[in-house]
Amino acid sequence: MNARQNFLALVNKKTPKALVNEWEPFGSVFDPLMAMTLVAQPGRSVVDPWGVTIYWGENEPGAMPIVTEENKVCKDITCWQDYVKAPDIVNATLDWTEAKKQAEAIHADGRLTMSLMATGLFEMSHYLMGFEDSLMNLLLEPDSMHGLLDYLTGYKLDYAKLLVENLHPDVVLFHDDWGSKTSLFMQPDTWREFFKPRYEKIYRYFKENNVIIMHHSDSFCGPLVPDMIDIGIDIWQGVLPQNDICKLQKEYGGQIIFMGGIDAQLIDIENWTEDLVRAEVRHACDTYAPGGSFIPCLTYGGEGSIFPGVNDSIMDEIRNVSPRYFTER
């Protein structure tokens, strides 16, 4: 099997011939929706089409929203309609020519096309009003939060339909972090009330169009795994070692794939060494590979490492240890 076939065997509950090696089976496509809406630039502070101030510092691995009392988009959730205006992606003039060329090249290379959808519903809510307001308003102003989240869901469905109708990726990578390293940001029942039914709508559309769903949440989300299965997530990407991965494999293996398990904070560091990286990869694979439904990977929401060379060593060691867990039949 090549990397694509090996991954599809795992997703389709057949027997793979090797460990899926991080992002090897996939090729990311940069599409015009991303170009229009994800405008962060290294070393700069920019305002995105929603009006959110996004800052990406020099030598920092990624961008973050900077939300203050002065610049927050949604200043009062009870009249969110006065503040929140989605980018008009439906009527925008979008040129898909280059994205389609990228997709053709990825398929010709024997890989699956993957499209990124960011930012997710919870993250979008705190981009618009700040983290504290977003969490407090779930409890204090639930009706208004339901209205805002319905609006955001409608936008995401429009985005999904444009993506499928123009590009039809094999895999969609949807980003939304639902917790810290050790706990959820909210009680599971709160998440189920506000987010589960809306994600079910979005992911149902993708499933109806035979798109594989990879959801990134590099956080503690163990209590939500049965709900992830309910809403159609094929792969939970970013699963931290702080989750009881072995227990989750025993309870839900075969229903969802756990992609992660390699502890970035231990190895993706300035003074990394080959021995350090390879030892952590062997530990993760020895711990989780026997349980199945597992893809060893750094828990970031995309390919690569912060420090050059770390990810190359990770992938090389995954190739080295993979024969331990598979025999020719």
Contact 50, 127 (CB under 8 A): yes
Domains defined for the chain, CATH in brackets: 3-38+73-325 (3.20.20.210)
Contact 257, 234 (CB under 8 A): yes
Query: Which residues lie across from 179 on neighbouring strands?
Result: 184
Q: What is the DSSP letter of 179?
A: B
Q: Taking residues 67-87, what's their average pLDDT?
A: 97
Q: Is pLDDT of 328 > 70?
A: no
Q: Residue 326: what pLDDT?
A: 87
The pLDDT tens digits for 269-299 are 999 999 999 999 999 999 999 999 999 999 9
Closest CA to 25 of 9, 46, 36, 40: 9
Q: Residue 59: what pLDDT?
A: 82
Contact 213, 234 (CB under 8 A): yes
Q: How far is CA 148 from CA 152, 174, 285, 287, 321, in A?
A: 6, 19, 42, 42, 48
Location of structure tokens 């209205």: 147
The pLDDT tens digits for 11-41 are 999 999 999 999 999 999 999 999 999 999 8
Q: Is pLDDT of 327 > 80?
A: no
What percent of the chain stands above pLDDT 70? 99
Torsion of CA 8, 14, 16, 21, to 10 degrees: 40
Mean pLDDT computed over every residue of the chain:
96
What is the band of 329 on the pLDDT scale with cuts at 50, 70, 90?
A: very low
What is the b/e burial string over 201-223, where b = at least 16 CB atoms within 10 angstroms of the residue's CB?
A: ebbebbbeeebbbbbbbbbbbbe
- How many residues are given for the chain? 329
What is the band of 179 on the pLDDT scale with cuts at 50, 70, 90?
A: very high
Contact 94, 166 (CB under 8 A): yes
- Tell me the three state secondary structure of residue 295: strand
Q: At what angle do helices 142-166 and 196-208 cross, to 10 degrees?
A: 10
The pLDDT tens digits for 100-132 are 999 999 999 999 999 999 999 999 999 999 999
